[in-house]
Structure formats: C-alpha cells, structure tokens
Chain A
C-alpha cells in the first residue's frame, strides 16, 4: 500500500505539472508518429480532459487509501489487487488523453480487463458471474466500437480525432459507423436497457473498488461518447438518434430510480442509483444537436458537472455504504436501524453525498440540474423537465429509505463491529468535495470552456 500511495503521489505531481502546462500554454495535441495516414498514438490535452485527470487523481488516491485500510489484514487480496487497480488507472488516464481512436480502443480494453479482474476479486460466486457478465458487455461493446473505427478508417484513412473532426462529413457509411460506436459505448456506459450488468458488478464487489468502478469506469465510456458527439455530432448525428438517446436516458432515470427504491440491499441500492444517474448524462445528446451554441454550452456544462459530481458523490456513497455494511455485518437495509448513533460520520458522508445525488443545493448535482433545466427550457425541449424533476424526487425517495431506516430507534439491537476510523476519512472528503462543487464550480467550468482543443492545435 505504501508503494501505491507513492505512485499516487507521483501521479499527483504529474497532474500538477500538466495543469501548469495547460494553463501556461493552452491545449496540447501531440502525436507520437506524426506522419499522416498511419494509425499512431496521439495525445490530446485540453480543459475537459484535464478535469477528468484531476478527478481521476483525486478519486484514485482516496480509493487506494480506502482500499489499503479496507484490505489491511488481507495480504492475498492485496497481492492481486494493486496491479489491477494500476491497470485501470492507466487505462482511464489514457482514455482522457487519447487523441486518436486506436489509442482510445487500447485504453478501453486496458480499463476493461483491469475492471474484470477487480470485480472478480469479490469472493462469492456472484462476483464471478458479475465479472463474466461485465466481460460480455465489454467485449460486445468494444467490438461494436472497433467495427466503427475500422469503417471510419476505411472511409477517411485516419484515426486521429483532430483530423477526423476536420474531414468528417455525412455519408451513409459514416452514419453506420457512428451509430455502431455509439451503441457500443452506450452498452459500456450502462444506459437503460443495457444496464443490467452494472448493478451486480458494482453491488457485489468490495466497497472501495465499487467506488472506483462506479465513479470512473462508467464515466470513461460516456466521456468518449460525449467527445465523439461534441466533435462530430453536428455533422453526423441525426436529431432522431439524439432524441432517442435522451429518451433512453429518461427511462434510465426513472427505471434506475424505481429499481433502487425496491432494493433490499444497501449496496445494490447504491448501484441502481448509478443506473439512475447515468440517465442524466444522456440528456446531453438531444440538446447539442440542432440547437444554438448557447444551449450546447449550457448543457455541456451541466452534464459535465453532473458527471464530476456524480463521480465524487457515488464514490463517497459506496465507501460509506461499505463502512456501514462492515459495521453491521449485514448488507440489508432493514438492519440499519439505530446506525446513526454508531456510525454518525459515515452516515454524514453518506448524507452529504446523497445531497448531490438528489440534486439538492449546495452541490454539484444541484448546479448540474440547474443547467439541464435551463438548457431544456432554452432549447424549447421542455419535455425533459418532468423527468428531471421526477428523477430528483425518485432519488430522494431511495436515499431517504436509508435515512428513515437508520433513524429508526426501535429494534436497534444491531451487533456492530468496530470500523477503523481511517475508513471514514475518504468518504467524508469525497462527499465534501461533491458539496463544495456546488459552491465553487466556477473554476472547473471556466477551465473546461476556455481550454477547448479546437482553439488551437499545437
């Protein structure tokens, strides 16, 4: 673990250096093999990717810290754990930075295999099943993505995102490629109705790992999708597909929320909450296609805020939930009675994170909802509003199921184990960050808007 913490520290140093570079010289595009036509490795650093890098660094360091304490006495797992975590983190950072499709593909695979390994770390049979199901999703999704890449390469002869952005135009084949890539990424991002792999995978793995998975891994696929749509969407995508994705997002919000309300296990509830929250991300697409620049700016800000705050909040939720489960020795929600007296800090972290999940102020989730409401009003697509409002209420419903239970004083003879204090630090920090994002969102958003790579390629 000490080694891991050092690695994380190094990562942090590099992130700071990158940030300095970005602020000083603006966005960066760098190709390893710059000769045109040959698929090569290229890197792109702009405001958005930098945001995700910071996010990754923060969540990574905290979940590593959490995992270190969580598995403190468990050497066999620790042995198998760290390299998988590192693989995932490498993959993730590569995803944020990738400047071409091949790099993206490789990065995705890197993440995928690391994640399969992490899920399989859970000791029950259920974990293996989940890991396999995830693998299935990954393979199919990535395959679909790969077909898209091949088609595009066939048409345009390049995989560089920047050159593709300049060259791309509407042809039927481009459309098919784009649709297939979208479908694959949608699968990996666990959008309804392809979400079924996510809850068991996240719900059954160890809490610090669930935090990592739900906070970052689902975001990777969405990040790619968003990037592709932002870059090419105006040319390639059709409003129908965009609206379709939005509708699926709505279904995800409602279905995920509804299913979360029905779960009896704490971690499954949190996992279904991810399904619910991922739905919001997909409201991005209908509101960037065929709308004014103002709307697309608003909605991008909103969705990115949602992504970031969800990452922070969900990580906190999983870690806190893990602590509660650890203390209770039971996964069941109905055993939570009286926990508020025993684990006030974890419950507080849970609550703060939940504020963001419910989209209540002050939190990143609230600002995100604010921007989403604004953009749907501004674009005239008012039909998203009922879902936005209902989704917030649904998430409040499932969140408060837990609080209700934990405040219950009757029958609170829960046998509890001592939970190390160190385990309560990371969730609190994450939750506080999710809340603080609601008050200090100006800097990250400005970073994202001002540092667009399109401003100048170097």
Chain B
C-alpha cells in the first residue's frame, strides 16, 4: 500500500521532470493518462487505512489514505485520467503541448498530494502547487481573455493563500505546533477563538470552492482554459477547497449557531444565485462554471448544517463526499462535451446522461443524494421551519435544471467546433457513462451509497425539471431575451471601485510624498553645494596664514590667562 501511495505522488512529478529534457518533451502529452493511473489503482484497491511518515520532509510529512479521502481520490483519479486521454486528442496539433503537459502534471501532483496529505503543511504545500500550476492551465490559450482571467485567478488565489496561512498558523499553533491533520479539528474547537479560525479557513478554502463573493475568478477562469483543463478545474480542483473544509474545520466537534447559519445562507445564495447568473450567460462553458458555483453551493450548505449542528456530522459528511464525487463526474463530462454543436446529433446522449445526473432525475446519483439530504434535514434542530430550507432547495434544483437547459441551448447554437478525435470521444463516453453508473459500481468497491434504484418521490424529483421546462417555454414563446450579465458578475463593479480608490489614493499619497521627497532632496543638494562653493573657508584660511603672528600672540596671552583661571 505504501509503495503505491508514494507512486501516486511521485509519478506525475517524475514525468514533469522529463520536461527538462527537450528530446522527451514532444512525447510528454502522451504520458498524461499514465500519471494518474497509480492513483486510480490506489483508489480502487483501497482496503484499509494506510499511513506513511516521512520524517525529513517539511516538519514531518504524513501521507495516507482513509475512507473519506478514498472517495475524493476516486473522483480525482478517474476524472484526471479520462480528461488526460481527452487532452491527447484535444491538443494533438498544438505546438506547445509539452507546456500544457508540464502544468497538467504539476497540478495533478498537487491535487493528488493534497488528497493524500495527513498533515497540515503537506496539504498546504500540495494545495499551493495545485493552485499555481493550475494558473498555467488557465492562461494556456494565451489570449487577452485568458490573461485577464488568469490575473483574477491569481489575485484571488493569493488572497486565499494569505487567509489560509493565518488560519493554518492559528490552527497548528492551537494544536501545539503539531501539524497532524487529525488533531486540528479538536484543537481548533478547544482553542480560544474557534469561530475566528473557522472563518479564516472557510474563506481561505472558500476561494477555491467558489463561495459567493469569493467566486469571482471562477466563471472567468473555468471557461478560458482548454477543455480538458476546464473539466479538471471544475470537476476536481474545485473540490480541493471542499476537502480542505472537511479536514480542517472542527466538524462534529463544536456547533457554531451563527457561523453555521451564515454558511448555510452562503450555500443557498450560491446554489440559487449561481443558477440565476448562469442562466444569463451566453457561452456554454460559462454556464457550466456557474453551474459549478451553484452545485458547490449545495455542498457548502451541507457543510453549514454540520457546522450549525455537530451531531449531523456522521450523516452529512459521507454525503458531502459522495456529492463531490457525483458532481465531479457529471461536471467534467459536461465540460468535455462543450466542443459540440447541433450537427452532432448522436452525441447528445453523452450530454444527457451527466445532465440528468446533475438535475437529479430518478434513478441517478443526483436523485439519491438529494433525497438523502432532504431526509437528513429532519434531524435538524433549528428555530426556523425546515420547510423553508426544503423549499429553497427545490428552488435550487429548478435552477440546476434551468442551467442544464441553458447549456443545451448554448451548445446547440455554437458555431464552428473542431472535429473530435476518437480519443476525445472515447473518454467523453466513458465519463458520461460513469456519471450515471458510478453509484451502481461503488458498492462493489466497498462504498455504501444507499438505495439507488428507488422511485421514492419520483414525481417530486421530476418536478423541478418540469417547472424549468415550463419557464423555458414561457421565455421561448414570449420571445423574452435574457439579460446579459458579463461573466464574473460582481467583479466589474468591484474592479471599478478598487481602481478608482487606488488612483485616488495614489494621487493623494504617492504624488504628495514624491513631491515632498523631491523638494527635500533638492533643498539638501543646493545647501550642500552652496556650502561647497562658498569661498569663506579659504578666506578664513588665508587670513589665518597672513596674520599668523598676531594669532600666535593672542593665543599665548589667552593661554596665560587661562592657566590662571580656576587654580
């Protein structure tokens, strides 16, 4: 087990090192699928918890795998592998293949590593590796849009790193400088400011997870990346934030009434707001990006519930993990579908499968998860009616359906699309099928998922889709146009505010400051040169020379007087 564990992390790194040799670079792209194979094997053959300790690494590195991580690893390895296969086809004619492959491998390493980390520092390290190598994937197309998106991505990522740093420092310090992950939640719970640390961690990882307000980069970055990169960005990497939350936050240790409610609110906001904003998008991939925000909202909501009430942890945490798996598979399949248009009729099946999973149609993983979520709400003890929450969740489901319709529509009207390579088609097919079949296969891997083939509340499950279709029809029939909301929504006003404040401050402070400094320097310089150019010293010197005898006499007299003083 330990061998394959190390191999999981080492394989992408070793392959990345190959990029140093220019002869091997051209073949690098073709190795990508193999890079995540050890991870896949590890995820599939997992039988019991394993842990290895590398004492020389950082301040003692712990790597391992357990039940929770296994689900994340499974999602990650499947999606990375299939997207890599897709990438070979997608980038077959690109001259900069190896650069893409390099970024891909490093990002992959970060992603797998963070899943397998059992201590805070290696988690943080792999997280940073993933974030910054991911930048290369985002800006790979090197267009103005990509650079702009990349810039926002970086700014937000760095802010997130900063917030995380404080949070992690506080958490690790609370645990007595021991960065072992398993100790952190209880240490945070017992520290003097658990809520403060939790907030920092929430926001720090929230940037990656697309928490509302912190999501600004997401609708920009996910669409501009090459398709396979978008798939992993939206399918897997976004979950790193979620995993961070689950590992660091004191879930099940302590209940934060207010913080929990706020998080639930954020989740709902993301789930519904993301859908609303997404429907107003005109590009297929942007719609998907907003859909990711919306789906992450669901997970945030569940996490908020656990924060609010620690007793829910045992039920909801496995559910969140499964939700992540479900969303990852479906979303990446949808992303892989994005270079299609109305002419490719037979391939629509591959869009339908993941979409239906996402919408939670009966017999899919989505249905299962949503039903279980609603059931678990009954265990909630709150002062407000649970029906409200339930209703809002239905609203979010309608939003998801609308987004899928919108995505379908955007695809249909897409203009030129490149021809799909067989490898692309194969990986796309596999992923699509997996997105519906995964939950059927999971029990064979020893993961219990509950009853999948259940028609309980079948009509209820179909209701959001019907409602969404109704809304869609109304819009079509009345020829209503959707408002255009630029991707990145809040970013535009925020940018204006920030830029103007900056210019104002700069003019106010920097300009004045420079003026003062320049004036001071000038004054000093003139004073010094004045002193230097002054002829007075030479005049004095000459006078002393001419009148040296008198000076001597005066001085002698002075000495004689002085020696008589104070005797």
Q: Are B555 and A186 in contact (CB under 8 A)?
A: yes
Q: Are A179 and B549 in contact (CB under 8 A)?
A: no
- Does B416 have its Cβ within 8 Å of any Cβ on chain A? no
A94 to B86, CA, bound (A): 102
A161 to B148, CA, bound (A): 92
- Does B344 have its Cβ within 8 Å of any Cβ on chain A? no
A64 to B555, CA, bound (A): 37
**CB-CB contacts below 8 Å: A233-270 with B:** 236-241, 244, 258-259, 262
Q: Are B563 and A178 in contact (CB under 8 A)?
A: yes
- Does B381 have its Cβ within 8 Å of any Cβ on chain A? no
Q: B151-159, B310-318, B537-545: which lies at the A interface? A: B537-545
Q: Are B544 and A239 in contact (CB under 8 A)?
A: no
Given contacts A144-B556, A179-B560, A259-B541, contact A193 B566 (CB under 8 A): no
**CB-CB contacts below 8 Å: A180-215 with B:** 180, 182-184, 186-187, 193-197
- Does B551 have its Cβ within 8 Å of any Cβ on chain A? yes
Interfacial chain A residues near B556, Cβ < 8 Å: 144, 179-180, 183-184
- Does A58 have its Cβ within 8 Å of any Cβ on chain B? no
- Does B532 have its Cβ within 8 Å of any Cβ on chain A? yes
- Does B567 have its Cβ within 8 Å of any Cβ on chain A? yes
A240 to B564, CA, bound (A): 9
- Does B417 have its Cβ within 8 Å of any Cβ on chain A? no
Interfacial chain A residues near B562, Cβ < 8 Å: 179, 238, 240-241, 244
Q: A169-177, A332-340, A385-393: which lies at the B interface? A: A169-177
- Does B511 have its Cβ within 8 Å of any Cβ on chain A? no
Interfacial chain A residues near B552, Cβ < 8 Å: 140-141, 144, 183, 187, 194
- Does B480 have its Cβ within 8 Å of any Cβ on chain A? no
A236 to B564, CA, bound (A): 10
Which chain A residue lies CB-closest to B556? A183
- Number of residues of chain B lying within 8 A (CB) of chain A: 21
Q: Are B555 and A240 in contact (CB under 8 A)?
A: no
Q: Are B541 and A238 in contact (CB under 8 A)?
A: no
Interfacial chain B residues near A176, Cβ < 8 Å: 560, 563
Most chain B CB inside 10 Å of its own CB: which residue of A179, A236, A244 = A179
- Does B565 have its Cβ within 8 Å of any Cβ on chain A? yes
Q: Are A238 and B551 in contact (CB under 8 A)?
A: no
- Does B558 have its Cβ within 8 Å of any Cβ on chain A? yes
Does more than half of chain A's interface fall in helix, strand or loop, or is it mixed?
helix
A137 to B548, CA, bound (A): 8
Given contacts A172-B564, A179-B556, A240-B565, contact A258 B537 (CB under 8 A): yes
Interfacial chain A residues near B538, Cβ < 8 Å: 262
Q: Are B563 and A196 in contact (CB under 8 A)?
A: no
Interfacial chain A residues near B565, Cβ < 8 Å: 238, 240-241
- Does A163 have its Cβ within 8 Å of any Cβ on chain B? no
Given contacts A170-B567, A240-B566, A259-B537, contact A183 B559 (CB under 8 A): yes
Separation in Å of the B26 CB from the closest CB of chain A?
A: 49
Q: Are B548 and A194 in contact (CB under 8 A)?
A: yes
Given contacts A140-B549, A193-B555, A196-B548, contact A175 B566 (CB under 8 A): no
Which chain A residue lies CB-closest to B555? A183
Interfacial chain A residues near B558, Cβ < 8 Å: 244
Interfacial chain A residues near B541, Cβ < 8 Å: 196, 259
A180 to B564, CA, bound (A): 13
- Does A381 have its Cβ within 8 Å of any Cβ on chain B? no
A176 to B552, CA, bound (A): 15
Q: Are A179 and B559 in contact (CB under 8 A)?
A: yes
Interfacial chain B residues near A237, Cβ < 8 Å: 563
A236 to B532, CA, bound (A): 43
A241 to B566, CA, bound (A): 10
Separation in Å of the A253 CB from the closest CB of chain B?
A: 15
Interfacial chain B residues near A292, Cβ < 8 Å: none
Separation in Å of the A302 CB from the closest CB of chain B?
A: 24
Which chain A residue lies CB-closest to B548? A196
Which chain A residue lies CB-closest to B546? A196
Interfacial chain B residues near A186, Cβ < 8 Å: 555, 559
Most chain A CB inside 10 Å of its own CB: which residue of B532, B556, B558 = B556
| Contact with B532, one of A141, A179, A262 (Cβ below 8 angstroms) | A262
A258 to B537, CA, bound (A): 9
Separation in Å of the B524 CB from the closest CB of chain A?
A: 16
Interfacial chain A residues near B566, Cβ < 8 Å: 238-240
Q: Are A238 and B555 in contact (CB under 8 A)?
A: no
- Does A404 have its Cβ within 8 Å of any Cβ on chain B? no
- Does A417 have its Cβ within 8 Å of any Cβ on chain B? no
Given contacts A240-B565, A259-B541, contact A194 B560 (CB under 8 A): no
A176 to B532, CA, bound (A): 41
Interfacial chain B residues near A90, Cβ < 8 Å: none
Q: Are A179 and B551 in contact (CB under 8 A)?
A: no
**CB-CB contacts below 8 Å: A131-181 with B:** 133, 136-137, 140-141, 144, 170, 172, 175-176, 178-180
Most chain B CB inside 10 Å of its own CB: which residue of A144, A184, A244 = A244
Interfacial chain A residues near B567, Cβ < 8 Å: 170, 175, 238
Given contacts A193-B555, A194-B555, A241-B559, contact A175 B564 (CB under 8 A): yes
A262 to B538, CA, bound (A): 9
Q: Are B549 and A136 in contact (CB under 8 A)?
A: yes
**CB-CB contacts below 8 Å: A83-142 with B:** 133, 136-137, 140-141
Interfacial chain A residues near B537, Cβ < 8 Å: 258-259, 262
Most chain A CB inside 10 Å of its own CB: which residue of B537, B556, B559 = B559
Which chain B residue lies CB-closest to A184? B556
Q: Are A193 and B532 in contact (CB under 8 A)?
A: no
Which chain A residue lies CB-closest to B558? A244
Interfacial chain A residues near B560, Cβ < 8 Å: 175-176, 179-180
Interfacial chain B residues near A178, Cβ < 8 Å: 563
Separation in Å of the A281 CB from the closest CB of chain B?
A: 17
A162 to B90, CA, bound (A): 107
Interfacial chain B residues near A133, Cβ < 8 Å: 545, 548
Q: Are A244 and B551 in contact (CB under 8 A)?
A: no
A398 to B564, CA, bound (A): 39
Q: Are B563 and A179 in contact (CB under 8 A)?
A: yes
Given contacts A183-B556, A186-B555, contact A197 B548 (CB under 8 A): yes
Q: Are B548 and A136 in contact (CB under 8 A)?
A: yes
A133 to B546, CA, bound (A): 10
A120 to B474, CA, bound (A): 117
Interfacial chain A residues near B532, Cβ < 8 Å: 262
Which chain B residue lies CB-closest to A137? B548
Q: Are B548 and A182 in contact (CB under 8 A)?
A: no
Q: Are B544 and A196 in contact (CB under 8 A)?
A: yes
Which chain A residue lies CB-closest to B549? A140
Q: Are B564 and A194 in contact (CB under 8 A)?
A: no
Separation in Å of the B295 CB from the closest CB of chain A?
A: 67
Separation in Å of the B198 CB from the closest CB of chain A?
A: 56
Q: Are A238 and B564 in contact (CB under 8 A)?
A: yes
A180 to B538, CA, bound (A): 29
A182 to B559, CA, bound (A): 8
Interfacial chain B residues near A196, Cβ < 8 Å: 541, 544-545, 548
Q: B525-541 toward A: CB 8 Å interface, digit per residue (1/0)?
A: 00000001000011001
A179 to B565, CA, bound (A): 12
Given contacts A144-B556, A262-B537, contact A236 B549 (CB under 8 A): no
A184 to B545, CA, bound (A): 17
Q: B63-82 toward A: CB 8 Å interface, digit per residue (1/0)?
A: 00000000000000000000
Which chain B residue lies CB-closest to A171? B567
Q: B237-262 toward A: CB 8 Å interface, digit per residue (1/0)?
A: 00000000000000000000000000
Instruction: Identify 17 residue pairs between A and B in the complex whose beta-carbon atoms are under 8 Å apart, listed by A's number.
Output: A133-B548, A137-B548, A144-B556, A175-B564, A176-B560, A179-B556, A179-B563, A180-B560, A183-B556, A183-B559, A184-B556, A193-B544, A194-B552, A196-B548, A238-B566, A244-B559, A258-B537
Q: Nearest 4 pairs between A and B by C-beta?
A: A196-B545, A183-B556, A179-B559, A241-B562
Chain A interfacial positions (CB closer than 8 Å to B): 133, 136-137, 140-141, 144, 170, 172, 175-176, 178-180, 182-184, 186-187, 193-197, 236-241, 244, 258-259, 262
- Inter-chain pairs besides A136-B549, A176-B560, 11 sampled, C-beta below 8 Å: A133-B548, A170-B567, A179-B563, A183-B556, A184-B556, A186-B555, A187-B555, A196-B545, A241-B565, A262-B537, A262-B538
